[in-house]
């Protein structure tokens, strides 16, 4: 072991839990356990594996409130949001419980025999997950990986390991065989790095920063590991003058300030067509001023604290004295890593806050002239994860959704993630897809089989 790990509650700055901090030795043990459990799990009858995953979904649902409170306290998120995330965890396992019996292949016409394809599990899969949506994002990886017949080693973020550890206990209780699900709670620089380099790990699925994603891709290349990367974002919320401005302004704050802005899908660049700018800002000011920031366990809270003091310092660096603060919300006094929701306007497209991922509750309002200008500004980023278009013109909406370089985009809403639809990025927001039917592709290999008939 590498000593003790103190888990801090962001809303109080107090120690929430003390756990053992894993090191490279614990990673090796977890990989060995996963490798030993693999033959039995992958050979399990598809219906039986599906039944165990359904039982796990039921067990998670029975403990939804317990998990939600634990997530709210550990990650500092409002309890209502935490309940919604735990419900998504349940839905994700229910969705992929149908997958073991639907891992379909194809028959292919060939000369001299019969050819067909099957999908085989990869083996031991390493899952490295972030602190902003700890168990929700873990479930996006766990459920399809397990459904496809893989065994897993999950390394949660060091700041937020508690729901992952509780999940492992629930999984055993629900009938997941020992060794199929393993959790190691430790630093990325040791535990994560060991997973990436480990010769018995067939794949790494990572959600986190683009900077770390680059190093994981480079490290995984040494053993030709399969990799899925869901990385940073700087998404555009494009609002045309003909849009329902009240609806757009009402929805915009939570598209940025939800989870205190600690969301790679955050629509942190608000592009507003110039004729609508003044009215939109008036409406936005009302919406931001009404945002309730406070105790994550208070049912009325809409935004909690940032995850840590370091994160608060990083976010604060974007308010450098030159930033044009147009709207500023309020936060509680006293302990907690609080940061007031802030809107900057007007912001130059080349400003740092318009280029870099803030990962905090700061929005940059950028005016634009016309449709082509909106497309140019929206695409002027190394990222391409999510986005929105607000307009009453249906043809324009369709043109914009095709022209903007992003993995998920919505019209007259700010939706990015659904269990049944694929999620992932363009450009430096990563590669591969999670959720929906496409996620299974990332956890299986296609095998081609030929049977000679002699004629």
pLDDT value, residue 329: 94
φ/ψ of residue 175, rounded to 5: 115, 5
In this predicted structure, the answer to whether residue 181 has a pLDDT above a threshold of 80 is yes
Average pLDDT of span 368-396: 98
Report percent pLDDT > 70 for the chain. Answer: 99
CA atoms within 13 A on the CB side of 330: 7
pLDDT value, residue 320: 82
Q: Express each pLDDT in 401-418 by its tens digit.
A: 999 999 999 999 998 899
User: Quick one: pLDDT band at residue 282, thresholds 50, 70, 90?
Assistant: very high
In this predicted structure, the answer to whether residue 77 has a pLDDT above a threshold of 60 is yes
pLDDT value, residue 7: 97
pLDDT value, residue 415: 87
Question: What does the alpha-carbon distance between residue 137 and residue 439 come to, in Å, rounded to a whole number?
Answer: 13
Q: Express each pLDDT in 101-143 by its tens digit.
A: 999 999 999 999 999 999 999 999 999 999 999 999 999 999 9
Question: What does the alpha-carbon distance between residue 233 and residue 440 come to, in Å, rounded to a whole number?
Answer: 24
Average pLDDT of span 367-376: 98
Average pLDDT of span 27-32: 98
pTM above 0.85, yes or no: yes
pLDDT value, residue 315: 97
Question: What does the alpha-carbon distance between residue 442 and residue 432 come to, in Å, rounded to a whole number?
Answer: 7
Q: Express each pLDDT in 133-168 by its tens digit.
A: 999 999 999 999 999 999 999 999 999 999 999 999
If you search the block for the tokens 């974002």, which residue do you land on?
233
In this predicted structure, the answer to whether residue 230 has a pLDDT above a threshold of 60 is yes
In this predicted structure, the answer to whether residue 2 has a pLDDT above a threshold of 80 is no
Average pLDDT of span 322-328: 90
Would you mind telling me the total number of residues written for the chain in this entry? 455
* Burial class for 402, CB neighbours closer than 10 Å (0-12, 13-18, 19+): exposed
User: What H or E segment, with its residue span, contains residue 89?
Assistant: helix 79-97
User: What H or E segment, with its residue span, contains residue 17?
Assistant: strand 14-20
Question: What does the alpha-carbon distance between residue 162 and residue 79 come to, in Å, rounded to a whole number?
Answer: 16
In this predicted structure, the answer to whether residue 1 has a pLDDT above a threshold of 60 is no
φ/ψ of residue 226, rounded to 5: -70, 145
- The per-residue pLDDT of the chain, averaged, comes to 96
Which listed residue (9, 264, 357, 405) is catalytic? Answer: 264
Under 8 Å between Cβ of 62 and 390: no
Average pLDDT of span 208-222: 96
In this predicted structure, the answer to whether residue 9 has a pLDDT above a threshold of 60 is yes
Q: Is 191 a catalytic residue?
A: no
Average pLDDT of span 245-253: 97
Provide the 3-class DSSP secondary structure of residue 293.
Answer: strand
- What is the residue-wise DSSP string for 378-443? HH-SSEES-EEEE-S-HHHHHHHHHHS--S--EESS-----TTS-B--EETTEES-BSTGGGGGGG
Which listed residue (85, 158, 230, 405) is catalytic? Answer: 230
Report percent pLDDT > 90 for the chain. Answer: 97
pLDDT value, residue 15: 97
């Amino acid at each position: 072991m590498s000593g003790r790990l103190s888990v801090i509650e962001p809303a109080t700055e107090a120690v929430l839990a003390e756990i053992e901090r894993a090191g490279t030795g614990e990673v090796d043990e977890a990989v060995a356990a996963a490798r030993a459990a693999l033959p039995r799990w992958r050979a399990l009858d598809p219906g039986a594996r599906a039944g165990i995953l359904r039982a796990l979904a039921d067990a998670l649902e029975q403990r939804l409130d317990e998990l939600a409170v634990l997530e709210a306290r550990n990650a500092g998120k409002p309890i209502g949001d935490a309940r919604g995330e735990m419900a998504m965890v349940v839905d994700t396992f229910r969705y992929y419980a149908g997958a073991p019996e639907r891992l379909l292949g194809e028959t292919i016409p060939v000369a001299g025999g019969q050819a067909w394809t099957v999908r085989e599990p990869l083996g031991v899969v390493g899952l490295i997950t972030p602190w902003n949506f700890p168990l929700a994002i873990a479930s996006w990886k766990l459920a399809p990986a397990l459904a496809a017949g893989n065994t897993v080693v999950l390394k949660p973020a060091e700041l937020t390991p508690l729901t992952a550890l509780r999940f492992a206990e629930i999984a055993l209780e629900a009938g997941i065989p020992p060794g199929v699900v393993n959790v190691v709670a430790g630093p990325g620089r040791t535990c994560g790095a060991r997973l990436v380099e480990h010769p018995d790990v067939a794949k790494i699925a990572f959600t986190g920063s683009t900077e770390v994603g680059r190093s994981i891709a480079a490290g995984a290349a040494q053993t030709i590991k399969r990799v899925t990367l869901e990385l940073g974002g700087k998404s555009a919320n494009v609002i045309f003058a003909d849009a329902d401005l009240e609806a757009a302004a009402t929805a915009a704050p939570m598209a940025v300030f939800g989870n205190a802005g600690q969301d790679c899908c955050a629509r942190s660049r608000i592009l507003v067509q110039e004729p609508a700018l003044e009215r939109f800002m008036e409406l936005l000011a009302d919406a931001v001023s009404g945002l309730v920031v406070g105790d994550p366990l208070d049912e009325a809270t809409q935004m909690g604290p940032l995850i840590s003091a370091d994160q608060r310092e990083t976010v604060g660096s974007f308010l450098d004295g030159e930033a044009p603060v147009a709207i500023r919300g309020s936060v509680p006094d006293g302990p907690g890593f609080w940061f007031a929701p802030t809107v900057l306007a007007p912001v130059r497209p080349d400003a740092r806050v318009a280029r870099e991922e803030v990962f905090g509750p700061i929005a940059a309002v950028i005016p634009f002239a016309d449709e082509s200008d909106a497309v140019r500004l929206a695409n002027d980023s190394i990222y391409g994860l999510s986005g929105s278009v607000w307009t009453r013109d249906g043809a324009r909406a369709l043109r914009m959704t095709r022209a903007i370089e992003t993995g998920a985009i919505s019209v007259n809403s700010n939706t990015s993630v659904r269990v049944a639809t694929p999620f992932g990025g363009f450009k430096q927001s990563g590669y591969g897809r999670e959720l929906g039917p496409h996620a299974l592709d990332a956890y299986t290999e296609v095998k081609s089989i030929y049977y000679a008939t002699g004629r």
